Structure 1
Amino acid sequence: MTNFANSLKAEVSRLARKELKTEVAALRKTTSAHRSEIAALKRDLKSLLAEVKRLSKQRSQSPARSGNISEDDRPRRGRRAKYSAEMLAALRKRWGLTQAQMGQVVGVSSLSIYKWESGQVTPRQSQQDKVLALRNVGKRAAAKLLEAA
């Protein structure tokens, strides 16, 4: 009877493996498809993050290139005027001055103006106050200030 029991046990195991093999194959196929989809989503996410980073960098640099001051940089009643690199670049372009000439008007070097406009360095408070005082000066007055400097 032991031989019959062993044969029966072996046959049941074989049939169970055969049935499981088809089920496992379907699961493997599904798992493989999911992994491929996850990898594609990761690639898409990476490219989208790079695009967001590029656009945010472009957006932060665009007001300085266009020469326009954004609405947030314009003073409002009851609020203290705020210095920004974009505002300085727009002011210089509005006056039609070079960075060296702007440096003479403010009393600093052209390298300082370059670094202030590019946002690499923020000027001291006393220099910020000088720049903010010049915001309402027109082009002719700026030319007189340049001649005086």
Structure 2
Amino acid sequence: MANLGALLKNEIGRLSRRELRGQMEPLKKTAAAQRKEIAALKQQVAALQKQLVRTTGRKASLQAPALLADGDGNEVRSLRFMAKGMAPLRKRLGVSQAALAKLVGVSSQTIYNWENGKVKPRAEQLAALAAVRDLGKREVQRRLSSLASA
């Protein structure tokens, strides 16, 4: 009787492996096709980067520098962001993360992420930060009180 149980167990295992093999074959083919496509895209990106270096003479950065514009729409200066400068800025202005977030128009979590270097601000947020950076303590307090009353 034990022999019959072992035979049934082996047969069930063999049939289940056969069924799984039939179901896995299309998935393997799809995965292989996707890997080929990814490899082709990587080659295309590498070729485009080489072409860019040949035409411009320098590598492209992933993030374009933010530019400030004067009243006539002329670009004046580029802005750069350094995470280690956020906390000293807040300290100089005497404001909390939440208050700075109100001034810039973002959430306090965003300010936290900027300070810790997890993310970088977008161009319009960078311009707002630059505007706040040029303010003094009194002007910041004036703006915060006007935002609170509105």
Structures share fold, TM-score greater than 0.5: no
> What band does the TM-score fall into relative to the shorter chain?
0.3 to 0.5
Higher Cα Rg: structure 1 or 2? 1
More strand, by proportion: 2
TM-score (norm 2): 0.44
TM-score (norm 1): 0.45
More helix, by proportion: 1
